[in-house]
Amino acid sequence: MIDSVRLQGFKCFNDNFFALKPLTILSGRNASGKTSFLHSLALLHQTACECVNFEQLVLNGPVVQLGRAEDALNKITSRDSICIEIKSGLNLWERDYIACDRKNFKLRRKTPKSGQDAPVLRLFRDLTYLSADRLGPRETHSLEESVNYADVGARGERTISHLLTNEAYRVPEAICIPNSGPALLKQVQAHMQKIFPGFHFDIQTVEGTNNATLRFTTNEGIGFVRPQNIGFGLSFTLPIYAACLSAKPGDVVLIENPEAHLHPYAQSQIGDFLSLVASAGIQIIIETHSDHVLNGIRKSIKSPDHPIKAENAAVFFFSELDGDSEPNIISPVISDDGSISEWPEDFFNQYEKDLSELVGW
């Protein structure tokens, strides 16, 4: 689990510190720094999986493609280096990376600083990053295995292979739906039925190939249909449930826009689901534009029957960059009753603004 992150010279961050919780919510306007923060962690994930150490940052790979060194460096300060600090438990890991040539595709490590590489390598190799650019509905999925990556893939491209490889994995009891069995496939199906009533999926390997077919149903009377005939919501959501329910305590899961293609009710329910997963010791960091996801989390915190506690949730609201391109970041606090300490301008208040204009308030 990641306790804190400090970024110096990475993209829009000149010098910013983030104290993370088991459940961390990133919100704010577009192009305000939220994705850049997730990219800093996804970059370390990619580097940990592609290299045996952190001697250089792998800017371009199957997880993120950040371009040249100049694209990863802070453009306002014109500095030629990036410093990343990660605190995880007792290990405070800090590394400086310098670009000898801003047009190069590599950032190489300067002299060693504090912390041990080994625990950070393990942490980031096991991290899962799901981008907003997830794959849409498709009937056929490759079962190719990755030597370096054991997750569902940044676009969810390895979800079916991941489910089959880990089908015998027993989901922790704390997040199991009763009477469904602890096996991963059963629990993914049971949890998704809470937002898609009647949901079942069917995976069949194609004999003589490294492929499998996937079909969905939400109606037993109709039976299974091809994913492309049932909408985007199921395909966009399946990787989230597969990643979260196969994660182990201490693992980190990053998710961009978990609400994509979901009805407001489903968005609220997925907020509740992510809260449940975080309560089991799996760190969840999400970027969201959905007040329904936020409210689902708030309801979970307020509920006396839900294990997530207010002290284990953090919110970072990113507002527009100021004149020197430094993100303005506010941290509203969620209380035990689900209330929020402050509502800065543009923090999930567009509904009230529009309603006020419609009724002439």
Q: Are residues 294 and 344 in the same domain?
A: yes
Q: Are residues 121 and 253 in the same domain?
A: yes
For 169-189, letters b (16+ CB in 10 Å) and e give bebbeebbbeeeeebbbbbbb
337 lies in some domain: yes
Q: Are residues 120 and 266 in the same domain?
A: yes
Token pair of 99 as six digits: 């670009």
The pLDDT-based confidence of 263 (bands split at 50, 70, 90) is very high
Write down the pLDDT at residue 11.
93
Tens-place pLDDT, residues 29-70: 888 889 999 999 999 999 999 998 899 999 999 999 999 999
Q: Are residues 296 and 332 in the same domain?
A: yes
With vertex at residue 324, the alpha carbon angle to CA 18 and CA 342, rounded to the nearest 5 degrees, is: 45
Q: Are residues 316 and 169 in the same domain?
A: no
Q: Are residues 27 and 112 in the same domain?
A: yes
Q: Which residue has the higher pLDDT, 343 or 143?
A: 143
State the residue for tokens 């826009």.
257
Write down the pLDDT at residue 29.
84
286 lies in some domain: yes
110 lies in some domain: yes
Asked if 152 and 162 count as a contact pair (C-beta separation under 8 A), the reply is yes
Long-range contacts of 64-70 (CB under 8 A, 24+ apart): 64/39, 64/129, 64/154, 66/39, 67/105, 68/102, 68/103, 68/104, 68/105, 69/99, 69/101, 69/102, 69/103, 69/104, 69/105, 69/106, 69/107, 70/99, 70/102, 70/103
The pLDDT-based confidence of 355 (bands split at 50, 70, 90) is low
Write down the pLDDT at residue 68.
94
With vertex at residue 157, the alpha carbon angle to CA 155 and CA 160, rounded to the nearest 5 degrees, is: 135
Of the residues 241, 274, 306, the one at which a domain ends: 241
Write down the pLDDT at residue 78.
75
With vertex at residue 220, the alpha carbon angle to CA 214 and CA 225, rounded to the nearest 5 degrees, is: 30
Q: Are residues 74 and 22 in the same domain?
A: yes
Angstrom distance (rounded) from CA 212 to CA 169: 20
Q: Are residues 2 and 120 in the same domain?
A: yes
Q: Are residues 290 and 190 in the same domain?
A: no
Q: Are residues 296 and 275 in the same domain?
A: yes
The structure's pTM equals: 0.93
Q: What is the mean pLDDT of the chain?
A: 92
Residue 324 has pLDDT above 70, yes or no: no
The pLDDT-based confidence of 110 (bands split at 50, 70, 90) is confident
Of the residues 205, 225, 241, the one at which a domain ends: 241
Tens-place pLDDT, residues 268-306: 999 999 999 999 999 999 999 999 999 999 999 999 888
Tens-place pLDDT, residues 65-92: 999 999 999 888 878 999 999 999 999 9
Domain of residue 143: give its range.
Answer: 137-241
State the residue for tokens 């308030």.
361
User: What CATH number has the domain bearing residue 78?
Assistant: 3.40.50
Q: Are residues 94 and 199 in the same domain?
A: no
Partnered with residue 98 across adjacent β-strands are 81, 108
| Structural domains of the chain, count | 2
C-alpha dihedral, 232 to 172 to 128 to 198, nearest 10° = 0
